Amino acid sequence: MARSLNLFGLLLYTSGTLSMKTLDHVTLSESGSITIPCLYDSQYKPNSKYWCEGYFWNSCQITAHTNAPGKWTITDFPANNIFTVKLNKLTSSDSGYYWCAVKIGTYANPDDRKYLYVTVKSAPDVFVVSSSVSGHEGGNISVQCLYSSDYQNKLKQWCRITHQSCYTVGRTDTSQNSSVQISDDDGRRSFTVLMTGLRLTDSGWYYCSVGNLQVPVHLLVQRHNENKTESDDAVLFPTICRNQTASNDMGDNNCSPGGSDQMLWTFLLLYTAVPLLLLLMLVLVIWRLIQKHRALIRKREPDVYSVAEGPLTVAYDTVVFKKAEDCEQNQVSISRPPERDEVVYSTPRLQ
């Protein structure tokens, strides 16, 4: 009876026109991590998002928001109307009710929110081999979901959170999405989801469901070529909550504060600085080769100035002074005026 009253109170506090969507009951292992997607209405893109703990909404305790990082890490993706909450290294005492919420803060229009239950166990009853998968347009992806013996006879499903649609064991072909085939292996207590003919629109958040337990999985479908659209940019450069170290949309890697602008500048730096550096190194190598070539040419050319290290000294054996009349007697023609004495030099001798 008390359980029924508590559930009635919970539903009472969650009544109203709420747009938030998330999972109902997730499970994870102790000291492990899991990323929970929270989908909100597009009108709440600029609003603050937070993570609240408690059974009743009016008494829940805010454990994480966009300005207070901790073991509950929030990342906002306004382009996709999704924010994610990564749960890090929880213990069994952390099991309980939690809320994805968007801050609105008016009496007439209270905060948008959606509750879910988190179960933390040393050996979870449902888990996945990989919480994030990626594939190419037209290709295939495979997701393996495992479960305990207690859930061997429970309903197995592969669901998409955005569309609130699920696929059961068997094969389903649709005109809008890729083909989905689910095969259950009771002996190994696992079922495999095979998606073929992937489309770009298949990207998003899914979850493995066994009975009432769910485990989220993120799927990213990429093009074969390098052309990107705005949706691709939203995945490559998500908007990170300000002043917070947060996980990216894949739910595995950590990225630094600063948001899409910082990641974009980092991307541009890597793809522009490296080629420029290589070009500069090539120019330096060519310049060095030219200098070496010029030095080699100078070495091979004769140096007309290297006959003697010092100045050239000329010495004469004898110097004879003759007058002009003597030259006339010897029939020597002189081109200078006769009144000047002439100096005649003998053969020079280098010293």
DSSP letter string over 102-141?
Answer: E----SSSPPEEEEEEEEEESS-SEEES-SEEEEETT--E
Q: Average pLDDT for residues 286-304, to the nearest whole number?
A: 76
Residue partners of 21: CB distance under 8 A and separation at least 6:
38, 39, 40, 114, 161, 162, 164
Q: Domain coordinates of the chain in residue numbers? A: 1-124, 314-350
pLDDT at 250 over 50: no
Report how far residue 240's alpha carbon sits from residue 248's, in angstroms, rounded to the nearest whole number.
Answer: 8
**For residue 164, is it left (φ>0), alpha (ψ between -120 and 50) or beta?**
left
Give pLDDT tens digits for 50-60: 999 999 888 88
Query: Domain 1-124 in CATH: superfamily?
Result: Immunoglobulins (2.60.40.10)
* pTM > 0.75: yes or no: no
Highest mean pLDDT, choosing among 50-59, 202-211, 336-345: 202-211
Task: Map tokens 């949706």 to a residue.
Answer: 231
Task: Measure Cα distances from 243 to 73, 220, 260, 283 in Å.
Answer: 12, 27, 13, 42
Percent of the chain whose predicted confidence (pLDDT) is above 70: 64
Residues 186-197 have a mean pLDDT of 90
